[in-house]
């Protein structure tokens, strides 16, 4: 059973492939907002991955994130999430992102528990 209070943590090192100039979100070689969002989503889903039933997963549906400071190539970045709300299949996480110098991002992330096969059946119907 999934209950509030579940925490997650994931870490990466900023490399040229996760920078704004590479992601197309800007021109500078700094940790990109899309990469920060991906790290938040990964941290949240991995924190509950072993708690969902067989054949289930979760999908991200909403983000409200502030990117507070730039991070250069070479620094470590980590995300910490905490599950703050469970409303049926809807999960809301609080996220904070840091580099070696301090907080660089924060926000909330919403996910829904899904049945993987049903979800993919709907996706394939779009074809």
Residue 33 known to be catalytic? yes
Residue 108 known to be catalytic? no
In the set 13, 15, 54, 67, the catalytic residue is 67
Residue 82 known to be catalytic? no
In the set 3, 4, 19, 41, the catalytic residue is 41
Q: What CA–CA distance (Å, rounded) separates 94 from 83?
A: 6
Active site amino acids: 33, 41, 67
């Amino acid at each position: 059973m999934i209950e509030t209070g579940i925490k997650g943590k994931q870490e990466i090192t900023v490399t040229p492939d996760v920078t704004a100039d590479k992601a197309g979100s800007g021109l500078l070689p700094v940790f990109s907002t899309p990469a920060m969002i991906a790290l938040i989503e990964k941290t949240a889903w991995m924190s509950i991955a072993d708690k969902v039933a067989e054949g289930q997963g979760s999908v991200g549906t909403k983000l409200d994130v502030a990117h507070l400071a730039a991070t250069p190539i070479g620094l470590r970045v980590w995300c910490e999430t905490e599950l703050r709300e469970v409303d049926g299949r809807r999960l809301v996480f609080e996220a904070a992102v840091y580099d070696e110098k301090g907080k660089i991002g924060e926000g909330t992330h919403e996910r829904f528990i899904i049945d993987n096969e049903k979800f993919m059946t709907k996706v394939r119907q779009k074809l």
